[in-house]
């Protein structure tokens, strides 16, 4: 019995110690290794908040780049973040992806099915990924150029200017933040 109580005490002490250590390490990494000290990057235009760069939002207007699909509750609701937890071979999941492919082909009639990058038809693990691949942005450039009555080259230039490289040149993919890209489009057209 004495050994059991000793084991319980050691377990509780280690749980508390390791929990605090883990949280502290995560806080330090977020505080010193990220551009915003671990805080959300709130984007405001003329003192009006238009979004958070860390969380995707929906853009339906053809003049804007589409975000990566969301599987979070209703649209891009951050309170119901999470993946679909459906396997890649799940029939329901495949039907959802097929529906997304058809929607993209409808709004981008110049594309072939094989031209569509996976990130435009599959949701991220959180369902709120604010970034798309460069390929995902480039295939939308023609539609956006036509909708805004500008040259496609000017849209591609804006895409290239907003590309985010991997952290320290190693960590993460090359990507484009959709909210920042759409704001850059509006700014360039003013």
How confident is the prediction along the chain (190 residues), in pLDDT tens digits per residue?
888 888 999 999 999 888 898 888 888 887 776 666 767 777 778 888 877 778 888 888 899 999 888 876 567 777 777 666 777 788 888 898 899 999 999 999 999 999 999 989 988 777 778 889 999 999 999 999 999 999 999 999 999 999 988 877 777 788 899 999 999 998 887 7
State how far Cα 139 lies from the chain centre. 17
Which pLDDT belongs to residue 171? 74
**Structural domain count of the chain:** 2
Residue 150 lies in a domain: yes
Q: How is residue 186 written in tokens?
A: 């509006």
In a domain, 31, yes or no: yes
pLDDT of residue 54: 80
Please check whether residues 127 and 148 belong to one and the same domain. Answer: yes
What are the tokens at 43? 């984007």
CA distances from 181 to 63, 113, 138 (A): 12, 24, 12
Residues 166 and 131 in one domain: yes
Query: Phi/psi zone of residue 120: left (φ > 0), alpha (ψ -120 to 50 degrees), beta?
Result: alpha
- How many angstroms from the chain centroid is the CA of residue 71? 12
Specify whether 132 is located in the same domain as 61. Answer: yes
Q: Do 35 and 58 share a structural domain?
A: no
Diameter of the chain measured on Cα atoms = 80
Domain residue limits at 3: 1-39
**Cα-based angle 48, 79, 41 (whole degrees, multiple of 5):** 40
H or E stretch at 52: strand 48-52
* In a shared domain, residues 28 and 57: no
Q: Is residue 113 located within the same domain as residue 160?
A: yes
Q: 178-189 and 141-148 helices cross at what angle (nearest 10)?
A: 30
44 lies in some domain: no
Quick one: CA torsion of 155, 123, 164, 33, rounded to 10 degrees?
160
In the prediction, which pLDDT does 139 show? 93
15 and 84 assigned to the same domain: no
Q: Is 120 within the bounds of a domain?
A: yes
Please tell me whether residues 130 and 67 are part of one structural domain. Answer: yes
The owner of tokens 């981008």 is: 108
User: What pLDDT shows up at residue 73?
Assistant: 59
DSSP state at residue 171: B
List the 163-164 sheet strands across, edge first.
131-132, 175-177, 163-164
Q: Which residues contact 137 (CB under 8 A, 6 or more apart)?
A: 65, 159, 176, 181
pTM, whole model, 2 decimals? Answer: 0.78
Structure tokens at 113: 């099915």
């Amino acid at each position: 019995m004495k050994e059991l109580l000793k084991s319980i005490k050691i377990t509780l002490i280690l749980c508390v110690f390791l929990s605090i250590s883990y949280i502290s390490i995560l806080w330090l990494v977020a505080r010193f290794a990220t551009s915003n000290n671990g805080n959300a990057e709130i984007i405001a235009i003329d003192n009006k908040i238009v979004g958070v760069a860390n969380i995707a939002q929906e853009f339906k207007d053809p003049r804007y780049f589409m975000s990566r699909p969301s599987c979070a509750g209703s649209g891009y609701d951050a309170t119901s973040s999470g993946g679909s937890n459906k396997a890649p071979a799940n029939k329901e999941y495949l039907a959802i992806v097929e529906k997304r492919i058809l929607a993209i082909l409808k709004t981008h009639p110049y594309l072939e099915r094989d031209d569509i990058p996976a990130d435009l038809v599959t949701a991220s693990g959180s369902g709120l990924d604010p970034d798309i691949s460069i390929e995902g942005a480039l295939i939308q450039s023609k539609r956006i150029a036509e909708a805004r009555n500008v040259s496609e080259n000017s849209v591609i230039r804006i895409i290239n200017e907003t590309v985010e490289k991997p952290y320290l040149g190693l960590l993460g993919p090359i990507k484009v933040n959709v909210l920042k890209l759409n704001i850059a489009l509006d700014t360039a057209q003013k």
